[in-house]
Amino acid sequence: MATGVRHDAIEDNISFALSDCYAKAEALARKVHSEAKQITESYREKQGLSQDLNLDSIDGVPESGTSKWAELTEEERLRENAAAFAALHRLLGTVLKEQQDDLTPGDYKFHDALLSLLAKVEALAETTKQLLLSLGHVLPRAEEEREEEGLRYFQKKRRGYKVIVELSGWALRAVRDFARLKRRNRREAGGKREVKKRGSRR
């Protein structure tokens, strides 16, 4: 009996921890989305890019737009998110470096905003990874770092823009994903408790 109670408590703790993790990930994704959206405009203006810039044919940036997302399982979604945020973190680091090289020293505010976003993306990638581990899923394979040499200025500008745009897109979708997982986790925890209550009454 005592073992059963302890087991229930552990399950409750795990459920609570998961719920907390989902909430944290959701909040992070929300912040990343909001900041990325703001930076997108500043970046575009600073680089003299037009609003209707064609971002096709820029390789190496995970694209958030896909019609198959609904077909994926939650595990697959988490894994995709984890892989995308890890890749976007790496790419955003490159963008920041390029900005430091190419922009004026007066753009400290913009640099600070990029640095802040970079830290949040890193945290989001790590949180997603932790969620995968907590749920006992396999982590996505770490992508090999590709250092693209000889990119022209314009290509760098476009790629940087795409990284921020896609990051905003991924973060927005991740907000929904984490919110859904959080709700499901609560439902499941509630259901289990209900079943146990009924069982104990009998």
Partner 1 sequence: MLTFICSWSAGSETNLKTTYKICYKPTHCESVERNVSGKINLALFGAVQIHITAINTLGSATATFQVTKKDITFIPPVPQNVKVVPDFSSQTLSLKWIGGVSALAFPTTIEFEIQVLWTEKMEVIHTESYAAQLDSQNKTFQWSWISGVPLNCTSHSVRIRSISTDILMNSKNGSSDWSKLQTIPGADDSKSVMFPEDKVVRVGTNMTFCCVAGRGQRIKTLVYGAEHLPCSELGIRSKAITKYNLPPSDSAGTNIMCNLDPPHLLGTVVFVGYPPDDQQLECETRDLQNIVCYWSPGRQTMLLREHRTFYTLTERISGKNASCHQANDDDADLNDDKYKCNFPVISGQQMYKFLLKAKNPLGEVKTNYTLNLYTRVYPYSPSKVTVLCTGSRQTKLFLSWGVSYKNMTCQFEIVTNNKEKQLRNFTLPDQEANALSRVAVDQLYPDTSYSFRTRCASAEHFWKWSSWSESKTCKTQEEAPSKALDVWREIKRTEHGQNVLVKWKPLPHSDAKGTIVKYEITWNVVNEVGEQSAIAPVSVNSTELHLNFSDYVIAVRAVNSVGSSPSSQIRILGLFEEQADEPSIISGMPSGFNLSWSPGTNETCGYIVEWCLFPDTLDCNMQWERVPPKTTHTVITSDGFRPGVRYSISVYGCSQHKEYLLKKMVGYTQELAPRRAVKVKAEANSSHTVTLRWEDIPVQDHQGFIRGYRVYYVPQVNFSARSQKSGIKEVINITDPDVRNVTVTNLHSATYEFTVKAYTAGGEGIGEPININLVDSPLGLFLAILIPLGVTCFCGILLGIFCYTKRNCVKETFYPDVPNPEIHGEQWSVVEGRSSNPTFDVKPFIPDKVWIIESVPGKDVDDSDICTMEMNNGDNGSVNNLEVISDSGYKPQMRPHVPLLDVNHTPNPQHLDLTEQSEGYQPQLKVSNWSVESPEVDEASACIGSPTSVNSTQFLLPYQASEEGQSTRSSSWKFSSLMSSAQKR
Q: Which residues contribute to the site for partner 1 (CB under 8 A)?
A: 46-50, 53-54, 56-57, 101-107, 152-155, 157-158
Shortest Cβ 144–partner 1 spacing (Å): 25
181 near 92, Cβ under 8 Å?
A: no
**Residue 14 or 53: which CB sits closer to partner 1?**
53
Residue 170 burial (C-beta neighbours within 10 Å; 0-12, 13-18, 19+)? buried
Smallest distance from partner 1 to CB 160, Å: 10
Handedness of CA 49, 124, 145, 117 (dihedral sign): positive
SS3 (DSSP) at 59: coil
- Tokens 């973060």 -> residue: 171
Q: Please calculate the CA angle 138-135-12 and round it to the nearest 5 degrees.
A: 165
CB of 172 to partner 1, least distance (A): 24
Nearer to partner 1, 46 or 137 (CB): 46
Q: Where are the alpha helices (DSSP H) in 47-152?
A: 74-102, 108-134
**Residue 53 beta carbon to partner 1: minimum distance, rounded to whole angstroms:** 7
Shortest spacing between CB 105 and partner 1, in angstroms? 6
Distance CA(18)–CA(182), nearest Å, equals 8
Nearest alpha-carbon partner for 164 in 15, 33, 46, 27: 33
Cα 101 to chain centroid, rounded: 27
Nearer to partner 1, 61 or 82 (CB): 61
Spatial separation of the C-alpha atoms in residues 160 and 163, rounded to whole Å: 5
Q: Among residues 30 and 111, whose Cβ is nearest to partner 1?
A: 111
Least CB distance from residue 150 to partner 1, whole Å?
10
Pick 16 or 108: Cβ nearer partner 1: 108
* Residue 16 vs 154, nearer CB to partner 1: 154
